[in-house]
Amino acid sequence: MTDRVLWVTGGGSGMGQAVAVSAAEAGWRVAVTGRRREALLETVEAVTSAGGVAVAAEADATDPASLARAHERIVAGLGPVDDLVTAAGLNAPRRRWDDQSMTEFAAIVDTNLTSVARTIDLALPTIRDAQGRIVVISSFAGWRFSTKGGVAYSASKTALASLCATLNEEEGAHGVGATHLCPGDVDTPFLSMRPQVPEGAARETMLTPEDIGRAVRFILDGPPHVRIDELVISPTRPSARA
């Protein structure tokens, strides 16, 4: 068991919520941030029901001031951040060169890449002191090229691999370890952003948020001398893969 503080962005639903609950069961005190207060409170209730401790701090990760205020509330409520999981993400149904919107393109890159760097930058000083772990939830599209994710999404997720690599190169001496986590299809509300939303049998073959929660917990719970640079998780049945 641990008494460390874990910050989970995108913690109101899907993979972020599953990560928060799984980590809390292992003893982490969890802070969840996201745009939707009601969803965050649902996560806090789920963590509490599992016997854990959690706080919610509403924040827009693409707004530096909003994110900084949330970080301050986390530190005031739980203490300095020891470990971080970034699970917030964005895509759009219009994702091809022949139909995409540059406004949406910028929002996707800001959410999937820039806000991840912004969050890490805020928490890194105390993560460094704690020799903590940073898990960046990316995508299968960030590991292997696929046109299905779209131009902005695939580019932003691919860039997260470089972000994690530079963290490991520069911060490894301080005991910090970053993991580029690349899940295949996961049955979450995020699927509603697809041009054709999967239904029924297609969803049944996908990974679950709880699968990702267990994977993240495995990374966080590893010994200090072990770093998992990249982890790819796919559904067994390739027909479900995007």
Q: pLDDT digits over 73-105, tens only?
A: 999 999 999 999 999 999 998 999 999 999 999
pLDDT of residue 50: 86
Handedness of CA 224, 7, 143, 159 (dihedral sign): negative
The pTM assigned to this predicted structure is 0.91
User: Residue ranges of the alpha helices (H) in 131-199?
Assistant: 151-171
Return the half-sphere exposure (C-beta side, CA atoms, 13 A cut-off) of residue 187: 15
- Distances from the Cα of 87 to the Cα of 13, 32, 113, 115, 209, angstroms: 10, 10, 11, 11, 11
Residues with catalytic roles: 138, 153, 157
pLDDT of residue 195: 63
pLDDT-flagged residues of the chain (< 70): 1-2, 190-193, 195-198, 238-242
Beta bridge partners of 183: 233
- The tokens describing 95, both together, are 């994702």
Return the half-sphere exposure (C-beta side, CA atoms, 13 A cut-off) of residue 144: 9
- The tokens describing 120, both together, are 């890490």
